[in-house]
Structure 1
Amino acid sequence: MKLTLPKVTLTTSSRGQLVHTFVGSGVVKWKAEVALTNSTGWKVERVKVKVGDLVKKGQSLVTYDNKAAEQQILDEQASVKKLKLSIEEQQKNFIEASHSGDEKSIDNAKHAMKISAIDLDVQERRVKKLQEDLIANRELIAPFDGIIIKANAIEGLASGGGPDVIISNRELGFEFSFLAPADAVAQLEIGAKMGAQVAGSDARQIEGQVEDIRDVEAGDGTETGANNLMKRITVKLKDEAVKGGERVQVELTKTTDDVILVPNNAIHDEGGKKYVFGIEEKDGPLGNTFYTRKIFITIIDSNESLSAVSEGLFDQESIIIESSEPLQDGDKIRL
C-alpha cells in the first residue's frame, strides 16, 4: 500500500476562442521574367545593357558576331545561281532534243529539268531559312518595356547556351508566394488585402493583394497527405520601394469561436480516444477525499497549447493537468 497519495495540480476548462497563428515566408520576385538566349553559339559582339537598366519594347540588348552566318548565306546563294545556270543549260538541251525528235533524249532532258527544279526549290528554302535565322539571332530584342534583372553575356565570348539576358516586365510589378496549411487559409479569398513584413535591415510593412490560391501538387517540394493539405498563396505587390529579392513574412490567424478550451498537456490517449482526468469528491469520516474520474472528450481543433472540445466537458470544470505519479481511473489523490 502506498504511504503517500499522488499529488495533482488542477486547472479548469474554460469557454473561449481557439486561435491558430501561422507564419509563412517567401521571396519577392518580378511577376513576369523572361530569359533571352541565343542558341547559335555565336560570339557576343556588344552588350548594350547592364543590370537595373530600364529598356523599351523592341530595344536592342545584345548583338552577336554573325560574319560566318553571312558568309554561309553567300555560299548558299551562289549554289542557287549555279542551279539556275544548270537549268538554263538543260532547257537548251531539251529544245535541241525536241528538234531532233529523239524521244529518249527528250525524256532525259525533261527528267533532268525536273530534278534540277526540285534541287533549286530546296536550295532557295535553305537560303530563306538561313536569312530568317540571321535576322532572329543577330541580336537580342526586348520583348516588352522592362528592367534588366541579369546580364550574363560577355563581349568576345560565345553565348554559353544559358540566358544571356533576363528581363522583367516592370508594368506587372512584383509578387511573392508562400505555402500554408489549407485550413489556415480556408477563409482567404482572391482579391483580399494582405500585409507582409520585410525581413532584414530594411524591415518594414508592405501591402499586397491575394492573386492566386491553389493546391500544392505532388512533387512540388512539400509532402502532402490527408491531414497535411497545403495551399500555395501568391500575393501581388504594388510597393514602389520593392526591388526584388527581399524575404518577407506573413502572419495568418484562424479562430474557432465559443468552444470549451483544455490545455493539451491535460489530454491523454487511449486507443485513439482522448480523455482527461476530472476529480470526484467524496465525504468521509476524516473529511473529504478526492478520486480521479476518466472523462472521454471529443476534440474538434487544436493549436500548440490548447484544444477545443465539443463533447465531454463543461465550462469551469476542474481537471488534472499534472500529477506526481501516473494515474488510473478511480485513484485516490491529494490536491
Structure 2
Amino acid sequence: METTGVPADRRRKKNIRTAFLLLMGVLLFFTFFSNTLQSLTLPKVTTVKPQTKSLEFTLEGSGKLTPLREAKLLNASGWKVRQVLVKEGEQVTKGQTLIRYDSQVAEAELKDEVAALDKQKIAQQTLQDQFIQTYAEGDELQIRKARREIEAGKVDQVTQARKIAGLRERLTAEQQLKAPFDGIVTQLNALPGILSSGEPDLVLSSSREGFQFDFTADAGLLSSLGITLGEKLEVEVHSAEGPSARILPGKIAEIKSAQARAGSPAGEDNSGAEDIAQKTVFIVMNEGSLQGGEQVQIKLKKPSLQEGVVVPTKAIHQTGGRSFVYTIEEQRGALGNTFVAREVQIRSSITNGPDSMIQTDNLYGDEMIILESSEPLQDGNRVRLQ
C-alpha cells in the first residue's frame, strides 16, 4: 500500500504544478494580448529628431520693369482735347507740345474781363471829371467823397488787372500740354473732341536714369536675411523677344513699410493669428540693353546668422497664445515599454516656411518630436510609434 501511494501523490503534485504553469501561461498570454489590443487603439504618431543648424531663408520677388523717371501728364482744366500731336511709342524732347486743348470758353471769359477793366477805366475818368467840378464848387464834404470814389476805382482796377493776368497765365499753361523732359510716350489716353477723363492724358517715360521694379515681402524675413539699402542682387530678366533669361545686376534703392497681411500660425488652432508686417522693396537697374516692360524676378538664399534647434514647422502647435511641440517619453515596464506624449513649451521661434528655429529650455538633440498624429493629442497621452 505504501509503495503504490507514493507514485500517486507525485502524479497529483505534478498535475497541480502543470496546471499552475498552464494557468500562469494563459494569464500571461491574455495580459500581453490585452496590452497589444490596447496599443492598437492608441493614436499613431510619426516622429523626427530636431537638428542643430542654421536656418536657410529664401527671398523671392517678381515684377515688371518700369522707367525710373515717369510722368503722368493731365490737363487739370478738364477742357476738350482739340489736337493730339504725338503717337504712343514716339520719342519727344523737353518743351515739345504734345496735346492742344479747346480753350474757347476760357478765351471768351478773358475777353469779358478785359472789357470789364476798360469800363472801369472809363468810369474812373468820369469820376475825375466830377472831382474837378466839385473842387471848383468848394464843397469840402463833396470833395472828400469824390476823392474816396476815385481811390476805390483805382483799387477795383488793380484787382481786375490781377484777375486778367491770372486768366492769361492759366490759358497759356493749360491750352497745351508740353513734355517736361526728353522721353518716350508710353501711354496715350487723349482723344480729339473728348473731355479729359480722370486718367492721365499721356504718360511720358525716360530710361536715362534706369529702370525699377518692386515687390512686397515679410518684414521679419528681410530682417533675418539682413537686407539693407544699397545691397546688390542678381536679377533674372525675361524678355519678350526670346525664351532665354538673362542675369543682370540690380541694387536695392528703397524699402518702405506696406500694409500688413493676415497671418496664420502653425498648428491646428488659428485663434492666435496676428497680422504680419510687410515691406515693399524697390530695386533699380541701369543696364543699357534694357527697354522697359521686361518681366523680372529674384531669388536670394541666405543662412541665418546663428545656429539653433530646427524642427519642421508643422510639428509646432499653438493654443491659447502658447507655442509648443510634443516629444516622446519612453516608460519602461515589466510588460513592455510605453510611449507618452509630453508638451514642451517654446519661448520664441523664427521660420522660413517649412522649418522653424525654436528656443526652449527642455528640448535636447537626441529627443524625438511628434511630427504628425492620427488623433489630436494632449500632454500625457499614450501613443504608438509608426
Q: CA deviation at 1:273?
A: 5.0
Distance 1:324 1:99 in 2: 117
Q: Percent identity at matched positions? A: 31
Q: CA deviation at 1:75?
A: 3.5
1:24-52 CA-partner distances (Å, limit 9, x unpaired): 33343333332222233433232122222
Which residue number in structure 2 is paired with residue 276 of structure 1?
326
Quick one: structure 1 residues 50 and 221, their matched pair in 2 at CA, closer, same or farther if it must change by over 3 Å? farther
Matching residue within 245, 248, 255 for 1:213: 255
| Letter matched to residue 283 of structure 2 | V
1:215-259 CA-partner distances (Å, limit 9, x unpaired): 22xxx4745896612212111122344444444333343533433
Say if 2:260 and 2:275, in contact at 8 Å, map to a contact too: no
Say if 2:73 and 2:202, in contact at 8 Å, map to a contact too: yes
Q: Does 1:46 align with 2:83?
A: yes
Distance 1:326 1:100 in 2: 113
Which residue number in structure 2 is paired with residue 176 of structure 1?
213
Alignment of 1:86-101 (within 5 A): 86-101=123-138
Say if 2:82 and 2:192, in contact at 8 Å, map to a contact too: yes
Q: CA deviation at 1:133?
A: 1.3
Distance 1:308 1:326 in 2: 24
Which residue number in structure 2 is paired with residue 113 of structure 1?
150
Secondary structure at the counterpart of residue 327 of structure 2: strand
Matching residue within 195, 215, 221 for 1:158: 195
Which residue number in structure 2 is paired with residue 261 of structure 1?
310
Query: TM-score by structure 1 length?
Result: 0.80
Query: TM-score by structure 2 length?
Result: 0.71
Secondary structure at the counterpart of residue 172 of structure 1: strand
Quick one: structure 1 residues 161 and 110, their matched pair in 2 at CA, closer, same or farther if it must change by over 3 Å? farther
Secondary structure at the counterpart of residue 157 of structure 2: helix
Q: Does 1:3 align with 2:51?
A: no
Q: CA deviation at 1:321?
A: 4.4
Q: CA deviation at 1:210?
A: 0.4
Secondary structure at the counterpart of residue 30 of structure 1: strand
Matching residue within 85, 97, 100 for 1:60: 97
Say if 1:184 and 1:252, in contact at 8 Å, map to a contact too: no
Say if 2:331 and 2:340, in contact at 8 Å, map to a contact too: no
**Uncovered stretches (5+) of structure 2, i.e. residues with no partner:** 1-33, 264-272
Matching residue within 40, 62, 70 for 1:25: 62
Distance 2:171 2:162 in 1: 14
Secondary structure at the counterpart of residue 97 of structure 1: helix
1:268-320 CA-partner distances (Å, limit 9, x unpaired): 56762523333537485x8x745346362646333433333444343344455
Q: Does 1:139 align with 2:176?
A: yes
Distance 2:350 2:328 in 1: 21
**Uncovered stretches (5+) of structure 1, i.e. residues with no partner:** none
| Letter matched to residue 173 of structure 1 | G
Matching residue within 179, 184, 195 for 2:234: 195
Which residue number in structure 2 is paired with residue 37 of structure 1?
74
Question: Which structure has the larger Rg over C-alpha atoms?
Answer: 2
Distance 2:199 2:323 in 1: 58
- Which piece of structure 1 moves more, 171-180 or 77-86? 77-86
Distance 1:330 1:98 in 2: 116
- Which piece of structure 1 moves more, 266-275 or 300-309? 266-275
